[in-house]
Structure 1
Amino acid sequence: MIQSEIQTFLNKHEYDKIDLKTVLIDMDGVLYDSMKNHANAWYETISALGINSTPQEFYMYEGRTGASTINLLFQRAFNRPATEKEINEIYIQKTESFNRQPKAKAMPGAAEFLKKVKNAGLIPILVTGSGQASLLDKLDHEYPGIFTPETMVTAFDVKYGKPHPEPYLIGLQKAKAKPNQAIVIENAPLGVKAGVAAGIFTVGVNTGPLDDEVLLSAGANLLIPDMQILADRFEEIYTALIQ
């Protein structure tokens, strides 16, 4: 089954093989079970503005910049973009709401997966839309010795957010790798689209409430139910990729 999906990918991009060197990994919803907190914070903030939405809707927007999400909702509700002042005020409210949520735990299976990536001699690169100043300290606490500032792509590194391929193209640059030397691990449809647009074999890990079809329609080359199963199947997937 995996071999068929890999061959389809190779044929599409006219690659001879996947010469695996690096694994480009999203953070929220992949390394941390944090997407429910983001969704609830967005829903609380947007509902206070009188805009109709649902918590699940915000799983579809994961990977967008805050300004892009706010403008999308303003266009729908008010037929206009938000002003810069509105964007700043709303994003501050969203951040405050997020900080009131329970602390997000490390995603089950993520530490085991990262350890196997490192043991296989692959370079793990974090690719996140987050711009938290304390990000590295947070990662070092849960995943010690895995990431450094040189192996992270954050909101400070990119001009365009997902679904634009730029975040993953920068990830390739940091790993000194070509698209056929990498795989992407993503839980969000916009992130999947970004990985696919960068020409990289993209694994969708459905850790949230969205239907599998949403990630498949976004272009995921392989779909895995959760990070623990991805960790358990690492050797199988790795062997298939490098054959």
Structure 2
Amino acid sequence: MSSQSQQNILSTGETGRNPKVVLFDMDGVLYDSMPNHGVAWQRAMKEFGIHFTVEDSYATEGARGVDTIRKYAKEQLGKDLTEEEAQRIYDVKAHYFHKMPEAKVFDGVVALMKKIKASGLKIGIVTGSAQLPLIERVTRDFGDFVSADQITTAYDVKRGKPNPDPYLMGLQKAGNYLPSEGIVVENAPLGVHAGAAAGCYTVAINSGPLADSVLLNEGANILFPTIREFADNWEHVLDSLEKR
């Protein structure tokens, strides 16, 4: 285990962990897609008179898109948009996103999933996305590890991240697991908060521009700078949990 990873392990003193399932966020964890999302968000919001920065896209990542739009419309325009009105703006954002080059799978993702499967744990995916082409790509890229009915999207919950609902639903869809049996892998503050609020052991992957402290302060139990480093240290993390 590298010295960097040793520094990032937190002594939480938790007991009663019995890992059985790993729940991955999608954007920024499986795919290097956040830069594209940032550009798409900026373009779409500007068309509707809303100022939205790349940093905003990272800070709000994981929330349902319609919730983000309604929040910014209220704050900047003083408008209470209906869910349908917000969805029309989100559709514009999705249009811009899908015109961009396809984001690559992060190095280390497949290796990590292979190790998880070999360890006897199941895999689920929990995303705030409501873009069906992205969900279809997940089943294509990771079909050896996760089935369509183990993917939780914005369509499955009324309250998105940072609420615990998406990860509680992810536990249910993956096989009715308890929070103490779940490991969450996240890259965004709202997602980390959601995983911790759900009661899962939460791993932060800092693939964006935010300071490590932002993710740790939201409740991450451990942080890695890349998914590759987490993959390289999977056995250590699992062993430390099983011994608690």
- TM-score of the two chains, using structure 2 as the length reference: 0.90
Is this contact kept in 1: 2:185–2:204, CA < 8 A? Answer: yes
Is this contact kept in 2: 1:51–1:77, CA < 8 A? Answer: yes
Residue in 1 that maps onto 2:103: 104
Residue in 2 that maps onto 1:156: 155
Which stretches in structure 2 are left out of the alignment for 5+ residues?
A: 1-5
> CA-to-partner distance for each residue in 1:86-119, whole Å, 9 max, x for gaps?
4233112111111122211111111111111101
Residue in 2 that maps onto 1:18: 17
- Residues 38 and 3 of structure 1, relative CA distance in 2, 3 Å threshold: closer
Q: CA deviation at 1:6?
A: 4.9
Task: Provide the C-alpha distance between the structure 1 equivalents of 2:239 and 2:230, rounded to a whole number of angstroms.
Answer: 13
Q: Is structure 2 residue 209 aligned with structure 1 residue 204?
A: no
Is this contact kept in 2: 1:40–1:55, CA < 8 A? Answer: yes
Structure 1 residue ranges, 4+ long, deviating more than 6 angstroms after superposition: none
Task: Provide the C-alpha distance between the structure 1 equivalents of 2:25 and 2:204, rounded to a whole number of angstroms.
Answer: 11
Task: Provide the C-alpha distance between the structure 2 equivalents of 1:54 and 1:32, rounded to a whole number of angstroms.
Answer: 20
- Which residue identity does 2:183 align to in structure 1? I
Residue in 1 that maps onto 2:48: 49
Aligned length: 237
Residue in 1 that maps onto 2:172: 173
Residue in 1 that maps onto 2:10: 5
- TM-score of the two chains, using structure 1 as the length reference: 0.90
Matches within 5 A, 1:201-240: 201-240=201-240
Matches within 5 A, 1:54-93: 54-84=53-83, 86-93=85-92
Q: CA deviation at 1:74?
A: 1.1
> CA-to-partner distance for each residue in 1:186-205, whole Å, 9 max, x for gaps?
01111111111111111111
Moved more, 188-197 or 64-73: 64-73
Task: Provide the C-alpha distance between the structure 2 equivalents of 1:33 and 1:241, rounded to a whole number of angstroms.
Answer: 28
> CA-to-partner distance for each residue in 1:156-202, whole Å, 9 max, x for gaps?
22121111111111122233321111111001111111111111111
Residue in 2 that maps onto 1:129: 128
Task: Provide the C-alpha distance between the structure 2 equivalents of 1:143 and 1:43, rounded to a whole number of angstroms.
Answer: 29
Task: Provide the C-alpha distance between the structure 1 equivalents of 2:40 and 2:157, rounded to a whole number of angstroms.
Answer: 24
Residue in 2 that maps onto 1:31: 30
Which stretches in structure 1 are left out of the alignment for 5+ residues?
A: 11-15
Is this contact kept in 1: 2:65–2:129, CA < 8 A? Answer: no
Q: CA deviation at 1:139?
A: 2.2
Residue in 2 that maps onto 1:185: 185
Is this contact kept in 1: 2:32–2:104, CA < 8 A? Answer: yes
- Which residue identity does 1:80 align to in structure 2? K
Residue in 1 that maps onto 2:3: none
Task: Provide the C-alpha distance between the structure 1 equivalents of 2:154 and 2:83, rounded to a whole number of angstroms.
Answer: 18
